[in-house]
Amino acid sequence: MFYSIVDHTVHSTPQPPAGMRPIAAVAGQLLPPAITDLHHGLRAWGEIGLSPGEISPERVWCSADGRLAFDFAPKAAPSPVAHVGLAQELAAWLVMLDKWMETFVVIARARAVWSADELAGALSFATPAFLPRALVYMPPDNWERVAVALAIAVDDGDLAGGADHRNMHWQ
């Protein structure tokens, strides 16, 4: 079953949503704006209090324009977020995206969607001990690079400019 969040509502379909493929198949077509949209797609799960489950390339389906869905095993369904919110999922998400997109783009686009506090929470889980095995053993071995970039972003703090994206800049 495939689950996605559309307009703050959970949608499920037995087949992949139209135009979506596994992220590994779409990765070469993902441009930075789509990475931002994918970040928003993951954030939407937390906003409604649900976890998409373990983040791994075989479960993440998306389109080149940034729409997102997760493939769940039969009889499985989204569960409530953990007491740490989506921190563990976000750490895995960043490591996974970094497998195909430049680290700077992944983190810079994350900063436009996630607060410094949320990114700091993810930093706690950006190690092999907490990452899904599928990501730890999938080349390249990038968790440390992501953790360092994430630490720098957290140290820099939130982006200034509020919701007006034209005025966003590094503090």
Q: Report pLDDT digits (tens) over 12-24.
A: 999 999 999 999 9
Report which of residues 162 and 9 the model is more confident about: 9
Q: Report pLDDT digits (tens) over 106-137.
A: 999 999 999 999 999 999 999 999 999 999 99
pLDDT band at residue 159 under the 50/70/90 scheme? confident
Q: How far apart are CA 156 and CA 18, in angstroms?
A: 39
Asked if residue 168 has pLDDT above 80, the reply is: no
Q: How far apart are CA 79 and CA 52, in angstroms?
A: 7
> 9 by DSSP, 3-state: which?
strand
Residues 6+ positions from 88 with CB-CB distance below 8 Å: 82, 122, 125, 130
pLDDT band at residue 171 under the 50/70/90 scheme? very low
Q: How far apart are CA 147 and CA 94, in angstroms?
A: 9
Q: What is the strand order of the sheet 68-71 is part of? A: 9-13, 2-6, 68-71, 60-62, 21-22
Q: Report pLDDT digits (tens) over 45-98.
A: 999 999 999 999 999 999 999 999 999 999 999 999 999 999 999 999 999 999
Structure tokens, 87: 């921190």
Whether residue 116 contacts residue 101, with contact meaning beta carbons closer than 8 Å, is answered with: no
What pLDDT sits at residue 164?
47
Q: How far apart are CA 161 and CA 27, in angstroms?
A: 30
Taking alpha carbons only, the member of 33, 43, 35, 26 closest to residue 122 is 43
Q: Report pLDDT digits (tens) over 24-51.
A: 999 999 999 999 999 999 999 999 999 9
